[in-house]
Amino acid sequence: MQPRPNGDDTDPAWYNTAWQSIDSAAPWTQRTLEDADFVCECADIAARPVRVLDLACGTGRHSIELARRGHSVVAVDLQEKLLEVGRAEARRRGLAVEFLQSDVRNVPFESEFDVVLNLWEGAIGYLENDAENERHFEAIARALVPGGHHIAGPLYNADWVARSAPAQLWYMSRDMALLSRLEWSPEPRQIIDTCTEFRRDDDARWSMTAKPAVSYRIYAPSELRELLAKVGLHVVNFYAEPSRAPEIDDRHSEFWIHSRKAPAGPGARR
């Protein structure tokens, strides 16, 4: 990710040049199957094909896995370079995933999807200000059919960050380790994340790279509950992780959230 400088010279659209590439060795790329299992369990779609919208999909690893399971998936990201990687992988595997380059606020869908996803942050909180972030949630709600499901996570818990910062978190995979040093800016409720990457090469030697700091808006569960209700989604539950352990509080650094759009009536699709 490119740096988002703090202070008066902050670029309000830093996400336009962020995430130009995603390393397949990164720790957060190693849980695709578990994430897909969680989505299917929450939305109760393991045994029936549905329409899925994967927002800020990156290279589309979740989209491709859900397509493999029989679902019809539209994968959206701002970065065409990442979408090209996803298209090539979907073609290689013979899977029909529609990849669409778009800002998440401007997706042209209305009451079309049974499930909308924002996985591994999914650009939540990345936009210029609270009003623009709310437009993202409005687009999510607009894209869902009545009774449709929204699933997002993991998201940093603002309650935990506000209580614990400065703090450090480690994320590990076989050939990479990431150390995130987290600071908290109460106004405008942003996390400041300075990451150091440790990478193991083919000769089992480790190298270290310091990444520029990035900052973006994060939410407490109570804030997200209120924001989702404002756009017509009600929270089904918060989870500490895809193990579906509920009861989120300020002891949890991250959380997942499952919400639903209100059904249209007695005959609504569920």
Question: What are the φ/ψ torsions at residue 170 (nearest 5 degrees)?
Answer: -105, 140
Pair 240, 173 in one domain: no
Within a domain: 267: no
Do 149 and 19 belong to one domain? yes
The CATH number given to whatever domain includes residue 31 is 3.40.50.150
Give the pLDDT mean for 62-67. 98
Look at residue 154 and tell me whether its pLDDT is greater than 70: yes
Q: Which residue has the tokens 């995130």?
A: 180
Residues 21 and 122 in one domain: yes
Q: What is the pLDDT of residues 109-139, one digit of tens each?
A: 999 999 999 999 999 999 999 999 999 999 9
Tens digit of pLDDT for each residue in 249-267? 889 999 999 999 999 766 5
Of 265, 254, 247, which Cα lies nearest the Cα of 31?
Answer: 254
Q: Are residues 37 and 123 in the same domain?
A: yes
pLDDT of residue 246: 66
Q: Please indicate, yes or no, whether residues 106 and 232 belong to a single structural domain of this protein.
A: yes
Contacts of 120 (CB under 8 A, 6+ apart): 28, 58, 153, 154
Give the percent of the chain with pLDDT over 90: 73
pLDDT (tens digit per residue) in 2-34: 334 344 344 555 445 554 445 667 777 888 999
Q: Do 87 and 152 share a domain, yes or no?
A: yes
Quote the pLDDT of residue 6.
42
> For residue 24, what are the contacts with CB-CB under 8 A and spacing of at least 6?
none
Question: Which among 215, 231, 251 is the end of a domain?
Answer: 215
Residues in the chain: 270
Residue 242: pLDDT band by 50, 70, 90 thresholds?
Answer: confident
Find tokens 């249209």 and name the residue: 264
Same domain, 99 and 191: no
| 207: containing domain | 160-215
What helix, strand, coil percent values describe the chain, rounded to 5? Answer: 25, 35, 40
Q: Where are the beta strands (DSSP E) in 85-213?
A: 97-101, 113-119, 144-156, 167-172, 176-185, 190-200, 206-210
Residue 268 is predicted with a pLDDT of: 46
Residues 177 and 68 in one domain: no
**242 within a domain of the structure (yes/no):** yes
What does the alpha-carbon distance between residue 81 and residue 58 come to, in Å, rounded to a whole number?
A: 9
Residue 37: helix, strand or coil by DSSP? helix
Q: Is residue 2 part of a domain?
A: no
Q: Are residues 124 and 236 in the same domain?
A: yes
pLDDT at site 244: 64
